[in-house]
Structure 1
Amino acid sequence: MGGAAGGDPTEDGAAGSDAATESGPVSEAGEAAATLRERYDELRRIETRIADLGRDRVEAAADTYRRAHRVLDQYEDDAVGSGDFAAYVRFEGEFANAVDVDDDALAADAFAAADEAVDKKRLSERDFEAAREALEPAGEYVDLLADRDEAVDDYRAARKAAREARQSLADRLDELREVASMADADLDADVDRLREPIATYNEAVRDSFDAFYKSASAREVFAFLDRADATPFVDVDVPPTDLAEYVAEYEAGTEPLPTLLEYADYSNSKLEHYVDDPGALRTAVAVHRTYIERLDGEPLTLDWPPAGGDALAYEIGELIPLVARVAADETVATLRAVRDLARDDEYERLRRAAEVRDALADPELRLVRTGAIDDRVREAERTLDVVDDVLAETDR
């Protein structure tokens, strides 16, 4: 009641999910799974090569290469020519130690060639350049380890993306299944048979309550709200206790609520001409201005889509005596006409169509109308299975 479960029936299909093309989550999940498979295979290829060479041997060769370059970079300026013999001696010793590896070590020949390139009584810049060139084959193992680290990062990013895409697809599949569950609705049914009288009634009862609110005394309005609150299907906000007591006990309670709000804005000297106790009015009315201003006829309206036939007929039965207190006979007659529709044999077919058309956005409605929804469900299910398989097979 009062629009709590749905909007005014002047719009159709506004409550559906934001339906992008159905291929979106499906294709994105498929592409993410394919990328994950590629990244996993690349990582496995690199790791297999490292394992075949021996992880410790690859890391040792890379470490030796880095140490050799550090020594070359450290001493190149001081050890060349004949300027600093002490630096030359230190360089020779440190470089020889840096490239000292077993004969069966990876890139052993490269390290030996580099050592030979600088094993001279006097060194030039060209000798250092020759040593670096001799070390280049060993750089392959540094690159191999860097490729592995990059492949690990790429794999992890791809796996995260695949898991996120998988979740998006699973969520979309749930939505598609929900849409498929609505395929029983007759989307060609003339829902205006329900929409028009409900919309007419809702507009009329809002206007009627607004007029009642502006013209009736605060006591009458609060008495109406108390009675409405006793009706199970009418969700009204009863007045705060202190405000209700003020309206019941003070003469100002015979004035309409908008007048009391106007009084609350008066100065004390002006207000004394209108009420017996200005302070009591300010205390009771001013602090509850928001409550008073928000009172409207929305709790008396009918939801869209409407409730089931029996429930709606019962709700209207509860509403009629309330509405009759604030609205014209014509509005009550419209409400009775809606109750008659709720008891009609065609009502559930019309209500179901209204419910589905309100719940689904246009792209989803087209899927139901064309019968393509079941194909979309199966496509999403197949892709989800593939993604799950890839995630399981590429777990590390």
Structure 2
Amino acid sequence: MSVEDLQSDGDDAAALRTARERLESARAAVEDHGEERLQAVATAYREATDLLERYEERATGTGDFAAFVEFQEQFVELVDGLDDDLPARNAFEEANDILDQRRLSESDFDRARDALDPAADLVSLLDDREAAVERYEAAKRDARRRLQELDERIETLERLQRLGEADLDAPVERLREPIEAYNEAVEESWTTFKGEASAREVFRVVDASEAYPLAAFRPPPSALREYVESKPAGEEPIPTLLEYADYSDSKRSHYVDDPTALRTRVATHRTYLERLDAEPLIVSWPPPEAGTLRHRAAELVSVVARFAPDSVVSRARTLRTLPDRVDYGRLRETALARDELMADERDRLERGAVEEELTAARDERERLQAALEDIG
């Protein structure tokens, strides 16, 4: 987003103030005439226009004489029942005078409607106020949504600016090498463990990992867990179970005591078993913040120790102390910058475009926040 885009979006504060001013003006117009008096006009106007609508076809020309009489009586009754000081009462009287004839035409009804225009104008003050309230509420929602967008934009630009200040020549291999060494070792160990240990043993490690949220595997489906725990086939490695699942029932019966159970419990959950890899134990690159790495590595040690050799556990312990042995924050910023900064972003940073966008975003946010605070 360019500075011009930010400026074009910067009308929210002005729109909010304009909506507030229009609402205040609409409320003042209603107050000038009195809420109750205008509501009385609105009620009378609705009744009058309803009568005109309902009787126009029947009470005009040589139509229904009974309807004609009934219509005139009801209109007279409506007008006579109005308060003497009701705003626009004259409009209702004028309409009544137009309709007080021995014979009515459609043009008479049109003239009566025109005569009621002053009352319609007063009723519109209530409608205008309602519309102003809706516009004002919409403007507030837009302003708050825009404020959130600006907060996110500012955070992104500040992070981009921070990455731009990173030393791209810093020796990130001091972070990469121990992390990659651990990742490769734990992945190899898990692959070996999953391929050689019984499915029951693997599931016990998976279950134990639930106590360590930063190093937890996805738990197995309950039906699959129950099968592995209760059936002799659970002593077989996972690759063997998957191989059995591909056999026909007759062939499978030579290897397991309940071939149907293996098909319904294992074959239907093949995707889970195949995807049960070391991903929950892998440390990302670029690496997480120092505190996160310390806490996660401590949990990794606890989980990895349940299936991997001491050498792999030692590598996990190395990660736990890594932030204390190197200039972790600076090297991590370099890793992030190398990984995330695209060529166009580096160009924008060098040209000062990022700084301009950040200044524009901050200024707009300040104006918008002030406008929201002004309206309370």
Q: TM-score, normalised by structure 2?
A: 0.62
- Is residue 208 from structure 1 mapped to residue 188 from structure 2 by the alignment? yes
Instruction: Kindly provide the CA deviation profile for residues 40-92 of structure 1, in whole angstroms up to 9, marking residues without a partner as x.
Output: 433433443343344455455555555555555627754657x8776665555
Residue 154 of structure 2 aligns to a residue in which SS?
Answer: helix
> What pairs up with 1:15-164 in 2 under 5 angstroms?
31-61=11-41, 63-64=43-44, 67-69=47-49, 74=55, 77-78=58-59, 80=61, 93-100=73-80, 106-119=87-100, 122-123=102-103, 125=105, 129-130=107-108, 132-133=110-111, 136-163=114-141
Unpaired segments ≥5 residues, structure 2: none
Instruction: Kindly provide the CA deviation profile for residues 341-395 of structure 1, in whole angstroms up to 9, marking residues without a partner as x.
Output: 8675444311243357778999998679844576356325413423423542xxx
Contact 2:12/2:142 (8 A) holds in 1? no
CA separation in 1, counterparts of 2:195 and 2:64? 107
- Give the AA of the match of 1:270: K
CA separation in 1, counterparts of 2:359 and 2:259? 67
Unpaired segments ≥5 residues, structure 1: 1-19
Contact 2:51/2:71 (8 A) holds in 1? yes
CA separation in 1, counterparts of 2:250 and 2:154? 67
Contact 1:187/1:353 (8 A) holds in 2? yes
CA separation in 1, counterparts of 2:190 and 2:246? 22
Residue 279 of structure 1 aligns to a residue in which SS?
Answer: coil
Contact 1:111/1:135 (8 A) holds in 2? no
> Greater relative contact order: 1 or 2 (C-alpha under 8 angstroms, separation 6 or more)?
1
- The structure with the largest alpha-carbon Rg is 1
Q: After TM superposition, give the deviation of residue 189 of structure 1 in Å.
A: 2.8
Distance 1:246 1:372, change over 3 A: farther
CA separation in 2, counterparts of 1:237 and 1:217? 19
Q: Hey, what does 1:3 align to over in structure 2?
A: none
Q: Looking at secondary structure, tell me which structure has more helix per residue.
A: 2
Distance 1:317 1:62, change over 3 A: closer
Pick from 318, 329, 333 the counterpart of residue 348 of structure 1.
Answer: 329
Q: Hey, what does 2:286 align to over in structure 1?
A: 305
Q: Hey, what does 2:257 align to over in structure 1?
A: 279
Instruction: Kindly provide the CA deviation profile for residues 310-350 of structure 1, in whole angstroms up to 9, marking residues without a partner as x.
Output: 949976995799766899xxxx9999998998675444311
CA separation in 1, counterparts of 2:60 and 2:15? 51
- Is residue 173 from structure 1 mapped to residue 154 from structure 2 by the alignment? no
Pick from 239, 261, 267 the counterpart of residue 258 of structure 1.
Answer: 239
Contact 1:43/1:155 (8 A) holds in 2? yes
- Give the AA of the match of 1:152: E
Q: Hey, what does 1:189 align to over in structure 2?
A: 168
Q: After TM superposition, give the deviation of residue 295 of structure 1 in Å.
A: 3.5
Over the matched positions of the two proteins, sequence identity in percent amounts to: 26
CA separation in 2, counterparts of 1:340 and 1:124? 98
Contact 1:209/1:326 (8 A) holds in 2? no
CA separation in 1, counterparts of 2:59 and 2:219? 93
Contact 2:7/2:360 (8 A) holds in 1? no
- Give the AA of the match of 1:193: E
Contact 1:209/1:296 (8 A) holds in 2? no
Instruction: Kindly provide the CA deviation profile for residues 141-183 of structure 1, in whole angstroms up to 9, marking residues without a partner as x.
Output: 2233135324413422441452354145236426735864786
Q: Hey, what does 1:379 align to over in structure 2?
A: 363
Residue 131 of structure 2 aligns to a residue in which SS?
Answer: helix
Equivalences, count: 356
Residue 348 of structure 1 aligns to a residue in which SS?
Answer: helix
Contact 1:69/1:132 (8 A) holds in 2? no
CA separation in 2, counterparts of 1:389 and 1:301? 47
Alpha-carbon RMSD: 5.7
- Give the AA of the match of 1:351: R
CA separation in 2, counterparts of 1:295 and 1:321? 16
Distance 1:282 1:315, change over 3 A: farther
Q: Hey, what does 2:275 align to over in structure 1?
A: 294
